[in-house]
Amino acid sequence: MMSTTDIRTIAIAAVAIGVCALLPLVDQGYWLSIGVSIAMFTVLATSWALFSGPTHYISLATAAFFGIGTYVTGSFYESVSFWLLLPAAAIVGGLLAGIVGLATLRLSGVYFVIFTLGLAELVRQVITWAQNMTGHRGTYVLLDFGSRSVEEVIYWTLLGLAAIVYLAGWLIGRSRLGFALRIIGDDEEVARHSGINTARAKVLLFMVPGAVAAATGAALAPRYVYIEPALAFTPLLSFQVVIMALLGGAGRLWGPLVGVIPFTLLWEVISATFPNQTTLLLGAAFLVIVYVLPRGFVGLLERARARAGGGA
Amino acid sequence: MIQEEEKSPMKFQRRTVLKLSAAALAAPAIIPGRLAANDPIIFGAVAPKTGPLAGGAAVTHWPNLQLWQTQVNAAGGIMVDGNAHPVEIIEYDDQTNPGETIRGVQRLATQDNAHFIITPYGTGLHIAAAPIFDRYGYPQVCVTAITDQGSELAGQFPNMFFTLGATTPFAGDVIRVLTAMRDAGQIGNRLAMVNVADAFGIELMAAGMPLAEAAGFELVYETSYPLGTQDLAPVINGVKDAAPDAFVAWSYPPDTFGLTEQAMIAGLEVGAYYTAVATSFPGFNARFEGAANNILGAGGVNPDLPSFQEYEAAHIEVTGQAPDYWASATTYGSLQVLQQSIEAVGLDREAVSAHIKEADFDTVLGPMHFRDNNFNQAYWTVGQWQDGVFRGVASQNRDGVAAARLKEGWA
């Protein structure tokens, strides 16, 4: 049953996404390109936190699924509609995540981290091998959306994906699966003794970020125009997603969003102002974040709220 | 700008001009910017300073921007409407990430109001930036983007120009050089061909293999290895066992060096030895010295051309390093193309693009034009280290091709 607060939450979220959807009408250039970045990282970081938040498994597989998605579009966009490729990529990504999950999620945390980091490289090598066997001649995605710009269409697609991710996260949070995952995150032994099939729950939930990241990659392929393995499977993407999600706070559904927005803007300011020291300054910023905000912005906000409540 | 305004004796006029230029810059796609005398022309540049392609960009891309800016400004600047304007370059690091390249070009076009934008570095980053160049009407004079899809891309992005060539002629000219050596009785018919299993290596292999077969070569050994392979001894040993007369590796920078090192150790005896990307780097000759003699590689220049000699000396003087003998001079040439078009038609980007399509250019590499589908048809394809100089031994429509020499030993 939906309570009044639920209806209000959904209404607020719907209005917020509706307002964001107006951005391309205001600016088609610089701010839209920042909007695409923010929307992309919001989708990736929020779906990442859906799994990693409750289970505390750090997944570095985002780049693997993202890359697969770009190749789904890159390989089939000439014969299949772009709009069908998005769900197709999601299915491929979800299935791969399922297989990977079955193989690794029975293991404890650190093995999982290492495997997911290697996964992007593994998939990249498989694609390279296939290209080498067939004498591949470069993947170009030359898509045209008529009167709408590519950037605009991608932005709206990503907003749609964000809406799906938030809805899925909200539903999972209320479901038995979400409850089971919270128990697993607190103590996996206890969860198992309570009769929860922990492996199944983890695999099921791991498929969500897999599917979402692949769909995101598929949506962004027309923006890159030229797809090559080194660029599609860049490991940096996986780390960026983790950093942003942790900066915001992975414990709340809206947590990653409050990390993505300041981080993207900070990244932009640093890139524009100190083009020769970008990596150095980002590293320094990350250190500050870890030391000053160990629980992310969510932790900061909740502490502030608790203090305000205590004072009253 | 504000400080200048206060210092200026013609305060009112100056302010008016500034306002006008600000208004013009605010609508960059429509009205070409009007410059006051001595105002700089702003060029934007986005390319890797970090990430996998940073090393190549540090040899080929960034030094040429520095050299060109220094030389143009020393000569007074670029002439527009009878006034000389200095060149100002705004540089961004794209971290070898196409998303950052897109954002950087976007920022240059809309926030920095750059008059012109210099093309990025590397095929993927070039093409990722193309839609933004196109949207704001910037001419994109590409350099390090080698593709057989040039006419398709130029069809979609009409202001995109290609200077460094297409994939198939690069592979085809290697086979042409080998065929000439064979027909002259210098080498036999047995050919070993390997490639790095990555984008350009795969494309060159796919183009080169059928051409070698069509030329009547017997392929005695053929393999590929992943990018980043540390131990290339098995590849060279396999080649050696097949006893070829000629060896061709469609290689990338790390393995160009690695293969050659192994070939020296194994004493690979071939009459023609070719490695692709980075053979033309001055560092290659410095690393192998005498053993590099008569090694063939991708690229080439005409080292006897006075304009090139002048360019090379200036490159060493200004940047403290020698240019590479392939894309360096082309990078510089691409900037000369922009400069000559701006001097011909002013800052109106549409007019500059239209001018590039039609005009003849005089560059450090010799003459250049883009009348064939935005594609420069005069470029070097194969070079060879001959007594410490990397000479072009095959080209598409370039003068000064030297004869290829036989590889004799590794001393």
B contact test, residue of A78, A133, A271, A279 with most B CBs within 10 A:
A271
CA end-to-end span of chain B: 61
The count of domains in chain A is 1
Smallest CA–CA distance from B136 into chain A, residue: A29
**Number of neighbours of residue B191 by Cβ within 10 angstroms:** 29
The correct answer on CATH 2.40.50.140 for the domain covering B168-303+382-396 is: no
The per-residue pLDDT for range A272-284, each reduced to its tens digit, is: 888 888 778 778 8
Only one residue has tokens 């779906």, namely A47
Determine the structural domain holding residue A205 and report its residue range. Answer: 4-311
User: Where exactly are the structural domains of chain B?
Assistant: 19-166+305-380, 168-303+382-396
User: CA of A143, closest CA in chain B: separation in Å?
Assistant: 10
User: CA of B92, closest CA in chain A: separation in Å?
Assistant: 5
Which of B130, B131, B206 has the CB atom closest to A135's CB atom? B206
User: CA of B154, closest CA in chain A: separation in Å?
Assistant: 12
pLDDT of residue B344: 95
pLDDT band of residue B52 (cuts 50, 70, 90) is confident
User: CA of B296, closest CA in chain A: separation in Å?
Assistant: 23
Q: B149 to chain A: which residues are within 8 Å by CB? A: 138, 140
The per-residue pLDDT for range A117-153, each reduced to its tens digit, is: 899 989 998 998 888 888 777 788 888 888 888 889 9
- Residue B12 above 90 pLDDT? no
**CATH number for position A147:** 1.10.3470
Mean pLDDT value across residues B287-295: 93
Q: B123 to chain A: which residues are within 8 Å by CB? A: 138, 226, 228
Q: B95 to chain A: which residues are within 8 Å by CB? A: 236, 278-279
Q: Which two tokens stand for residue A204?
A: 């099921």
- Residue B345 above 80 pLDDT? yes
Q: Do A228 and B104 touch (CB under 8 A)?
A: no
Cα separation, A46 vs A248, in Å, equals: 10
Q: B135 to chain A: which residues are within 8 Å by CB? A: 149
The per-residue pLDDT for range B136-164, each reduced to its tens digit, is: 999 999 999 988 888 888 988 999 999 99
Cα separation, B298 vs B392, in Å, equals: 9
Q: Which two tokens stand for residue B169?
A: 């002629």
Q: A231 to chain B: which residues are within 8 Å by CB? A: 96-98, 124
- Residue B233 above 90 pLDDT? yes
pLDDT band of residue A1 (cuts 50, 70, 90) is low
pLDDT of residue B238: 95
| Fold of the B19-166+305-380 domain | Rossmann fold (3.40.50)
Query: Does this chain's domain B19-166+305-380 share its CATH topology with B168-303+382-396?
Result: yes
